[in-house]
Structure 1
Amino acid sequence: MVYGEKLIAQTLHDLGVRVIFGLPGLPVIDIAQEGMNLGIRFVAFRNEQAAAYAATAYGYLTGRPGICIAVGGPGVLHVMTGLPHATVNCWPLLVLGGSSETHNGGKGAFQELDAISLLTPHAKLAIRPPDPDTIPKFIKDAYRAAMYGRPGPAFVDLPANLILGTFDVERKKMMALPEAPKSMAPDNKIRDIVNALRGAKAPLLVVGKGAAYSRAETQIRTLVDRAGIPFFPTPMAKGITADSSPYNFSAARSTAMKQTDIVLVLGARLNWILSFGLPPKWSPTVKIIQVDFAADELGKNGGDPELSVAGDIGLVVDQILKQIGTWKWQERNSDYYKALQMAKLRN
């Protein structure tokens, strides 16, 4: 016989979970207690919203889903803000929500709420195990959904009778999931990108938070130093490359966007942060080459779908480095470079 909360905690531990964020409350607090018995750290908050945000940050920094537990009813409503936050940022998040007993459904049970219907539009996967035997599989499926493909939020609804009950369920150790599969770009597309950079009169690199998520610091720093191409990071990508780099033109961002003819965007979406890749902030004739792990981002707004590629930022930059060889941009006397320098000094 096994308690439901122990079965849940064991499943999380098997998957490699070592930190849980949440707010102590019935019935989910028993999951946290069983987790602590297994060596999982429980970080408590005073509001589920803060716990969800912390879990999304943990997912961003580790590349594996941050786990947030929430009580039913108002707890689920509070944690709900974390789901679109994870969706928009493409960060892996798994929310485990407690709910009222299944046999009391429709009777006005304590904090009764149809969380599945509420959260389905906002999660990659929202599910409720129908019985104790399916608890490990459902949690693993949600964990995988949050991490694989475009990362995002997943939700598992856990009724109180499944958490607090005792069941005759055979203990089957779950295998930890490997990291999400990574892809590379076709060689001919890499060749086209390198040729475009070599032929540019005013090249630019833009480094986004997707590059940080991919942990592509080494590859991008090597590319910047070797090729000597002007660059700037988006806010969430600061630290991938040094602020002190002579090629960092964050202080001349507007000038760079306006005057560049070829820009390689590494892991940044063409949203409001980058003025959607469209005039008047960007030149009407600029070619914007996107590298993103989500193929549906390619060609959005001002992106060039012919030159853009889907793939892991680190692996794709490695491919670019191999093809670019020892080439270095040499237009230090160009009007473009002089304008960048003047704007940088002025700002």
Structure 2
Amino acid sequence: MTYGAKIIAQALHDLDVKIIFGLPGLPVTDIAQEGLNLGIRFVSFRNEQAAVYAATAYGYLTGKPGVCISVGGPGVFHVMAGIPHAAANSWPLLVLSGSSETHNLGKGAFQEVDAISLLSPHAKLAVRPGGPEHIPRFIKDAYRAAYFGRPGPAFVDLPANLILGTFDVERQKLSPLTEAPCSVAPENKIRDIMDAFKTAKAPLVVIGKGAAYARAEQQITNLINRTGLPFVPTPMGKGVVPDSSPFNVSAARSTALKEADVILVLGAKLNWILAFGLPPKWSSNAKIIQVDISAEELGKNGGHSSLSVVGDVALVVDQLVSHLGDWRWQAQPTSFHRNLEAAKSRNEEKAAKKAAIDTMPIKYERAYDII
């Protein structure tokens, strides 16, 4: 006879889960305890919303699903804040929530909530195992859904009788999911992308959060340094290539986006942060080349380019570098380069003037300059 909470904890342990975030409470407290018995660390919070945000951050930083547990009813509503948050950011998240006993459904059971109907529109997968023998497979399916492809949230509803009951079921050992599948781009597309850049008058690289998630720092820095291509990071793409790079044109961001004619978008959604890839912020004649892990993202909002590819950012950039040869963008004679330098100078001068204002209370520009 095996305790239901132990079946759940064993499944998480098999999947190489190292840490669980959550708030202890019936019926999920025993999942945390059984996890501790197997060496899984448990970090407790005072509210499930804080716990699920921590799990999403953990998922982004590690590249594997952060795991959060919660009680049913109000606990589900509290973790719900983190589920669309993970979906919008494409961060891997697995939420396990307790729920009312299956034999009391529809009777007004303690904290009864139809969590599956509530969360299905917002999660990549939302499931409820029908019996103890299904628990390991359902947890693995949800973990894989959160992890593979475009990362996002997955949800498993665990009725209290499955958590707290004891069952005569065979131990189902799960094989760990050590890494998500990664793909490269077709070689002919890589050659065509490089040809587009070699004929561009105003090329630009946009570095997004997906590039940071892919840990493509080395590959993209190599591409930028070898080609001399100007780049703009999104707010969460900052740091993939150092801000101190001479090819960073963030100070001339508006000019760069508006005048660029060939734009390589590495792991960035064409959403509000990038003005949707549309005029007037972007040139109507710009050729936008997206590299994204999700095919559905290609061509969204901005004009679709036949050169856009589905693939892992780090691997695709490695492919691009392999086709470079000794080519380097010769920027100095172009009006695009002159306009970028002029815009950078104007904006940096404005920033320097603001940073020099020494008043009380201190302005944030001055504080940043001192730091």
**TM-score category, normalised to shorter length:** over 0.9
Q: List aligned pairs for 1:102-117, cutoff 5 A.
A: 102-117=102-117
Q: Which moved more, 1:107-116 or 1:185-194?
A: 107-116
2:43 match: secondary structure: strand
Displacement after TM superposition at 1:238 (Å): 1.0
1:39 matched to which residue of 2? 39
Say if 2:154 is the partner of 1:154. Answer: yes
DSSP 3-state at the match of 1:328: coil
Q: Secondary structure at the match of 1:226?
A: helix
Whole-Å Cα distance in 1 between the matches of residues 120 and 229 of structure 2? 44
CA distance in structure 1 between the aligned counterparts of 2:341 and 2:139, rounded to whole angstroms: 53
Moved over 2 A (4+): none
Following the alignment from structure 1 to structure 2, what is the Cα–Cα distance between the partners of residues 56 and 19? 12
**Distance in 1 separating the partners of 2:40 and 2:256:** 47
SS at match of 1:265: strand
Deviation of 1:149 after TM superposition, in Å, equals: 1.8
1:324 aligned counterpart, secondary structure: coil
Contact 1:289–1:303 at 8 Å: present in 2 too?
A: no
The letter for the 1-side match of 2:77 is L
CA distance in 1, matches of 2:117, 2:259: 49
Aligned to 2:178: 178
CA-CA distance at 1:169 after TM superposition? 1.7
Residue aligning to 1:5: 5
| Equivalent position of 1:318 in the other structure | 318
2:290 matched residue in structure 1: 290
- Partner Cα separation in structure 1 for residue 137 and residue 160 of structure 2: 18
Aligned residues of 1:83 and 1:122 also touching (Cα < 8 A) = yes
SS in 1 for 2:155: strand
Count of residues in correspondence between the two structures = 347
Cα root mean square deviation, aligned = 1.0
Q: Which residue of 2 aligns with 1:53?
A: 53
CA deviation profile, 1:23-52 (whole Å, cap 9, x unmatched): 111111111111111111111111111111
CA deviation after TM superposition for structure 1 residue 100, in Å:
1.2
Summarize deviations over 1:302-338 as a string: whole Å, max 9, x none. Answer: 2433111111101110110011122111122322112
- Paired residues for 1:177-216 under 5 Å: 177-216=177-216
Instruction: Work out the CA distance in 1 between the residues paired with 2:285 and 2:319.
Output: 27
How far, CA to CA, are the matches of 1:36 and 1:303 in structure 2?
51
Distance in 1, matches of 2:198 and 2:49, equals: 48
Return the letter of the residue paired with 1:166: T
Paired AA for residue 12 in structure 1: L
Report the alpha carbon displacement of residue 171 of structure 1 after superposing the two structures with TM: 1.7
| Counterpart-to-counterpart distance in 2, 1:259 and 1:147 | 37
Whether 1:245 aligns to 2:249 is no
Give the structure 2 partner of residue 69 of structure 1.
Answer: 69
Amino acid at match of 2:129: P
Partner of 2:272: 272
Partners of 1:332 and 1:30 lie apart in 2 by: 66
Counterparts of 2:183 and 2:221, CA distance in 1:
21
How many Å apart are 1:57 and its aligned residue? Answer: 1.3
**Structure 2 unmatched ranges of 5 or more:** 348-371
Return the offset for 1:59: 1.1
Q: Which digits, 9 at most, give the CA deviation of each residue in 1:59-103, with x for residues without a partner?
A: 111121110101000100111111111111111111000011111
Cα distance in structure 2, aligned partners of 1:130 and 1:92: 25
Task: Read off the aligned partner of 2:268 and give its amino acid letter.
Answer: A
Counterpart amino acid of residue 78 in structure 2: H
Q: Secondary structure in 2 aligned to 1:307?
A: coil
Do the aligned partners of 2:185 and 2:311 also contact (CA within 8 Å) in 1?
yes
Q: How many Å apart are 1:124 and its aligned residue?
A: 1.2
Q: Retained in 1: the 8 A contact 2:17–2:40?
A: yes
Distance (Å, rounded) in 2 between the aligned partners of 1:279 and 1:242: 29
Task: Return the alpha-carbon distance in structure 2 between the equivalents of residues 303 and 223 of structure 1.
Answer: 25
Q: Is the 8 A contact 2:287 2:305 kept in 1?
A: no
Which amino acid in the other structure matches residue 237 of structure 1?
A: G
Q: TM-score, normalised by structure 2?
A: 0.92
Q: Shift in Å at residue 178 of structure 1?
A: 3.0
Return the letter of the residue paired with 1:37: N
- Residue 97 of structure 2 is matched in structure 1 by 97
The alpha-carbon deviation at position 250 of structure 1 amounts to 0.8
- Give the distance between the partners of 1:9 and 1:289, measured in 2 at CA: 44
8 Å CA contact retained: 1:20, 1:43: yes
8 Å CA contact 2:120, 2:126 repeated in 1: yes
Distance (whole Å) between structure 2 residues aligned to residue 41 and residue 256 of structure 1? 47
Q: Quick check: 40-49 or 224-233, which moved more? A: 40-49
Partners of 2:298 and 2:136 lie apart in 1 by 36
How many Å separate the matches in 2 of 1:269 and 1:121? 21
* Match in the other structure for 2:361: none
